Amino acid sequence: MGRFVARRLLQMIPVFIGTTLLIFLMVYSLPGDPIKSLFGPKAADPATVARLRHEYGLDKPLLEQYWNYISGLFQGDFGQSFTGRPVADLMSEAFPVTIRLALLAFGFEVIVGIALGVLTGMRRGKFLDQFVLVLTLIVISIPVFVIGYVTQFLLGLKWKVITPTVQDSENLGQLMIPAIVLAALSLAYVIRLTRTTVGENLRADYIRTAVAKGLPRKRVVGVHLMRNSLIPVVTFLGTDLGLLMGGAIVTEGIFNIQGVGFTLFKAIQTSEGPTVVGIVTVLVLVYLLTSLLVDLLYAVLDPRIRYA
């Protein structure tokens, strides 16, 4: 196990460098001058623009800029935004909000998704199964921003059940509806994926053997059936946690949540390269770490899997 973890950590290094290099080149190769855009419609003083470009290192070749960025990153320095604030400060304000929102969405997705997936998988063809299948198909067919705006209009503006926008991002009650909207699409996939794997494993020989041996139904379902059925679901959930954090742009925009998605959207609009690169770098790390966690969970769920 130790060798496997060490090998996976070493594999992360070229992936991390390659991904951040690609993002850096894409962001800083975009047309337009981010320094001039700071002045808005006013004419920028060429001397001031040149001084700011030199101050932020934008007058150097792209690869040298990336080297300076990655060198600072390993020392905990994410750089400085064009407004003068350290990017680390901006992220320290935004990430806790998005982490709360993503964890609420993830918890909802895991609890409701797996529970409904197991129920429908064990009752294939029954009314509950058909109803959930139709419902998940509808959710998959509708874009998330439509679900968000409809939910906000019905629950927030028409029926006054919730506040239309989040007033306090530390209030978990106010984050609950945005979290459900954020999790809606992934929830539908988790239900369908769990339903399929449970249905397939129910017909497997090892389940018939367990039943023939007279094992209690709780043990057959809870130990033998669930362990094998959850492997593809765990793979999906592992990658989805990173997607929930990165994909919160739409949900945070609709419900006015000052999180990572909101900050990233504003940074893209104002050509704030350091902020965009800093946030995406952290999201890449989240993806890599959740992938490692998923790999480690495989051995827990299926003892037949051994690491070389």
Q: What is the pLDDT of residues 27-85, one digit of tens each?
A: 887 777 777 777 777 777 788 888 888 888 888 888 898 998 898 888 888 888 888 88
Cα–Cα distance for residue pair 263/124, rounded to 1 Å: 44
Whether pLDDT at 306 is above 60: no
For residue 308, tell me if it sits in a domain. Answer: no
Rounded Cα distance between 48 and 32, Å, is 17
Token output for 226: 């669930």
Give CA angle at 66 (63, 71), nearest 5°.
Answer: 130
H helical segments located in the chain:
2-28, 34-37, 46-55, 62-73, 87-122, 127-141, 144-151, 172-202, 205-212, 217-219, 226-246, 248-254, 260-269, 273-301
pTM above 0.85, yes or no: no
Domain assignment of residue 19, yes or no: yes
For residue 271, the 8-state DSSP code is T
Q: Are residues 47 and 93 in the same domain?
A: no
Whole domain around residue 273: which residue ranges? 88-301
**pLDDT tens digits, residue range 105-147?**
999 999 999 999 999 998 888 898 999 999 999 999 988 889 9
Domain count along the chain: 2
Residues 101, 186, 242, 179, Cα dihedral to 10°: 0
Q: Is residue 306 part of a domain?
A: no
Report the distance separating Cα 155 and Cα 162, nearest Å.
6
Q: Are residues 10 and 147 in the same domain?
A: no
Mean pLDDT, rounded, of the chain:
85
Overall average pLDDT of the 89-102 stretch: 89
CA–CA distances in Å: residue 43 to residues 32, 58, 275: 15, 20, 25
Any idea what the CATH number is for the domain that residue 172 is in?
Answer: 1.10.3720.10
